[in-house]
Structure 1
Amino acid sequence: MATTTPAPAPFPDALFAGRYRAIAARDTRFDGQFFTAVRTTGIYCRPSCPARTPKPENVTFYVTSAAAHDAGYRACKRCLPEATPGTPDWDLRRDVAARAMRLVADGVVDRDGVEGLATRLGYSVRQVHRVLTAELGAGPLALARAQRAQTARALIVGTDLPLSDVAFAAGFGSIRQFNDTVAEVFDVTPSTLRERRGRRPAAGASATGAGDATQLDLVLPVRAPFDARGTLAFLAARAVAGVETADLDGPAPRYARTLRLPHGPGAFEVRWDGRLHLHLELRSLADVPVVVARVRRLLDLDADPVAVDQALGGDPGLAPHVAAVPGIRVPGTVDPHELVVRAIVGQQISVAAARTHLGRLTVAAGTPYASRIDGLTHLFPTAAQVAGGAEEHLRLPARSRAAVVGTARALADGDLVVDVGADPDALRAALVARPGIGPWTAAYVAMRVIGDPDAWLDGDVALLSGAAAVGVPLPDGGRPARNRALRDHAARWAPWRSYAAMHLWRLA
């Protein structure tokens, strides 16, 4: 009796099959989450590339563009994979690789080297290299190089900056290194890449403004849908006078603020008109990639809104609100130390009262800043400035003032480390161990500093109010019983409880 040899499986594994289906459907939801390299062409693309779908046997998928670079592939000139939003995996994952990627995006490797990155992570250089190569297909230097290439492409095609300034702004050590990297990654020289960009409004830089600051305009990629007005409204409601300003009226809401950067103070303004326009005011072009990364984190631009909406929309109570507000975001922060101070000040008082206290502290202890952007006059106080001025200028209960001063001093001295590369559980434990800081504050800091998508602010009164509005069954007993019931109900919203909280806050 003849036997039939079973046909080989068309895909090596389920992950490959899922990604291949995504590129066959040209699904934009996966842009930035992985990259498709094609052996027969030597290029790599975003999943939604309009080119003909390659045969499975010719495809290799990479988690990062840096891994595709290291494997010898060039970026596709048609779909421009370097122009996609970043992957939400760096917020979803809590491992060393995700923490490292957040720090790489913030420019730690360019500023402090691989040794500085390893120190932040608490590992040896060899361990960091081994973990990143195993998890992401590329080491820290290759990941930082890919980051520079992305910044360079954005500045080449999006501004009229001289190419020598683009090289400096993107973090390259020399013009030759800039030219070689662009040619290797994009298979075209920087000058040719600029010539091919097509007609567009000039968005160059000028050496005028606040202290001869450079003015620069960019358009940031955003993963749709994006609840721009709601995100900016959240920031506007908490804006500290002089540090932040916002205008939500009209068809193009805007938000602006000052910030400290590695090479000096600066400011930015974002405006949404269907595209996200970013105006920068910088002392040094070398800070361009850093401020772009921080603005992306502030506005949660690299979230996966489709996955969030699909998961939360499965809850009957939340479903109509998710449909009404697609693409809700969890705003982050441009300054982790500032966020810690703001969280402690706002623990037991209203948002409006916290703004008043923080505004008073900023005028008394902050640094004046002259900006061309109306309404911006100060930099928020550093941790050291807060430690020196909070006791006198914050009209809070003595215990709250002591918590602010003690925590600010710990941040200034390095005894408490809060940054985008922190481990979420370790960060919460370190915060709760401090006098005057409870689980609510620790969860809030993790949600906004690290971008933890699954933080839950247990005991929040506004969350109870919002939950009642969506029909969450809560007992008639006291608040502890109601908090427990909501906490149990919220477990079904994992791993997106931070986003569920944003919906409930809005309803409250």
Structure 2
Amino acid sequence: MYTDVDRCVRAVQSKDARFDGWFFTAVVTTRVYCRPSCPVVPPKVRNMRFYPSAAAAQQAGFRACKRCRPDASPGSPSWNERADLVARAMRLIADGVVDREGVPGLAARLGYSARQVERQLLAELGAGPLALARAQRAQTARLLIETSRLPMADVAFAAGFASIRAFNETVRAVFDLTPTDLRRRAVGRHAPAAPGVIALRLPFRAPLNPDNLFGHLAATAVPGVEEWRDGAYRRTLRLPHGHGTATLRPLPDHIGCQLALTDLRDLPIAISRCRRLLDLDADPQAVGELLGADPLLAPLVARAPGRRVPRTVDPAEFAVRTVLGQQVSTAAARTHAARLVLAHGEEIVDPAGGLTHLFPTPAALAALDPAALAFPRARRDALTGLVCALAAGDIDLGVGSDWAATRARLLALPGLGPWSVESIAMRALGDPDAFLATDLGVKTAARDLGLPTTPAALTRHAAAWRPWRAYATQYLWATGTHPINFLPGDENRSDTSSTRTP
């Protein structure tokens, strides 16, 4: 979008928050870059320059605005809508791959040479993988500076900097403030958190409807791994350097997030996974405009704009749970998952609540005796085939995976049909166009709305909803009375439904 100068100018002049994260505005006279919705008086058009990423603006010599804090804006929805090389690279960078494995590791995961990856990122984002990772480290450093009382040396290494000098130089260059100045300015801005807990705000593009988003996560929560407590969804996190817990609370203009981590180097990865879980970088306006153009969906979209697709922090976990949920109710799927967790999950301590375990890894589940599983034979075979393929690395469900190739490999496994594969594509891979045409809840909603009900006919009709069929699925599910559609405690919710949902 940043190349459409007229459109960018209109967004800046109208302070349109919908475009935050889509592009960044730099002002040549002040050497500052901002988000489009910056509250200051817009600069003269001749002084504006537009960049596709904060890293590109930083490389061009601009510093972040102290007023609008552009580095804290929602991420570009493009990285979660697309499955091309650049989008996959951006998801992997956000997940900390460059900091852990370097550019060669990023390239290896993508199946391209480091030079090809660098060239593609520079062409589209104006910055290479190192600069993009540096921008992320700077944002992580600011979060730790502002929300914790950690010594600055600990902040530097937790944020991924190799030295205190690099930390100081980067913070000063990006924010035009020293780390000490940043902490001093943040006094009183952030609510105090419990010792060892990082408290922060996760921004999103409005509107956001929390009902199906948090309702789905709460209704399908696996005891010990997830819980709904005091108006917040909580769950355990398995992270590269350790583990942690996340507490996520829906609020009117942001998601309240509290992270308790065993290793602070995992902070940017934990934030990225929480944002992905809640689909916070989605573009609800684009989704609403397209789906609202269908006369049969329009009333649903108008009644509850901003529905998100609940995703996952652990794609392998979700794939296993999808198999456990085949042809059974939500309650039965939770029971099966809870048994696996108690028997094979790693125990943790959660002083703030009732979380007790990390979900078992594919390697741990691959070592199971299939005969010990209290499932029908076909589902045992499906689960065994899946976890063995995941443990062996034959199937990649990670954020940098190729969606089409992964679908094909999943379909080749025994016991995984279109419903399971599309469920995994929608919530584990994050494909916004995944569509569950065979799902009972979808077919029931289609019948009630006057849509075609056979999978083939419904798929043909849903072609007009592309590339947002996963969001259309959320609107179709929301016509029912299943608990996934309501926040816990909502007086309208009903626990009697057994509609099969992922």
User: What's the TM-score, normalizing by structure 2?
Assistant: 0.91
Deviations along 1:322-381, one digit per CA (max 9) or x if unpaired, are 222221110111111111111222232222221111111111111222211322111111
- Give 1:198 deviation, angstroms: 5.0
Match of residue 226 from structure 1:
208
Match of residue 209 from structure 1:
none
1:17-416 aligned at under 5 Å gives the runs: 17-203=6-192, 206=195, 214-247=196-229, 253-274=231-252, 275-389=254-368, 391-416=370-395
From the superposition, tell whether residues 173 and 202 of structure 1 become closer, same or farther in structure 2 (CA, over 3 Å). farther
Conservation of the 8 A alpha-carbon contact between 1:440 and 1:457:
yes
From the superposition, tell whether residues 343 and 60 of structure 1 become closer, same or farther in structure 2 (CA, over 3 Å). same
Deviations along 1:196-247, one digit per CA (max 9) or x if unpaired, are 23523553563xxxxxxx3222222222211223311101111111111114
Match of residue 407 from structure 2:
428
Does 1:499 find its partner at 2:483? no
Conservation of the 8 A alpha-carbon contact between 1:34 and 1:64:
yes
- Give 1:41 deviation, angstroms: 2.0
Match of residue 490 from structure 1:
462
Q: Distance in 2 between matches of 1:386 and 1:327?
A: 37
Q: Distance in 2 between matches of 1:18 and 1:101?
A: 24
Conservation of the 8 A alpha-carbon contact between 1:440 and 1:459:
yes
- Give 1:54 deviation, angstroms: 2.7
- Give 1:393 deviation, angstroms: 4.5
Paired residue type of 2:467: P
> Unaligned 5+ residue runs, structure 1?
1-11, 207-213, 475-481
Q: Distance in 2 between matches of 1:204 and 1:177?
A: 28
**Alignment root-mean-square deviation, CA:** 1.9
Give the count of matched residue pairs: 479
Conservation of the 8 A alpha-carbon contact between 1:83 and 1:154:
no
Q: Distance in 1 between matches of 2:2 and 2:25?
A: 16
Match of residue 485 from structure 2:
none
Conservation of the 8 A alpha-carbon contact between 1:105 and 1:147:
yes
Match of residue 499 from structure 2:
none
Q: Distance in 2 between matches of 1:313 and 1:111?
A: 43
Deviations along 1:229-285, one digit per CA (max 9) or x if unpaired, are 3311101111111111114xxxx7211111211111221111223342212121111
- Give 1:13 deviation, angstroms: 10
From the superposition, tell whether residues 269 and 187 of structure 1 become closer, same or farther in structure 2 (CA, over 3 Å). same
User: What's the TM-score, normalizing by structure 1?
Assistant: 0.90
Match of residue 421 from structure 2:
442
Q: Distance in 2 between matches of 1:33 and 1:395?
A: 49
Give the number of the structure with larger relative contact order, counting CA–CA contacts within 8 Å between residues 6 or more apart.
2
Q: Distance in 1 between matches of 2:449 and 2:163?
A: 57
- Give 1:394 deviation, angstroms: 3.0
Paired residue type of 1:244: E
Q: Distance in 2 between matches of 1:152 and 1:34?
A: 22
Secondary structure of the residue aligned to 1:196 is: helix
Q: Distance in 1 between matches of 2:346 and 2:147?
A: 32
> Unaligned 5+ residue runs, structure 2?
481-502
Q: Distance in 1 between matches of 2:187 and 2:289?
A: 37
Structure 1 residue runs of 4+, over 6 Å off? none
Percent of residue pairs identical: 54
Q: Distance in 2 between matches of 1:343 and 1:405?
A: 13
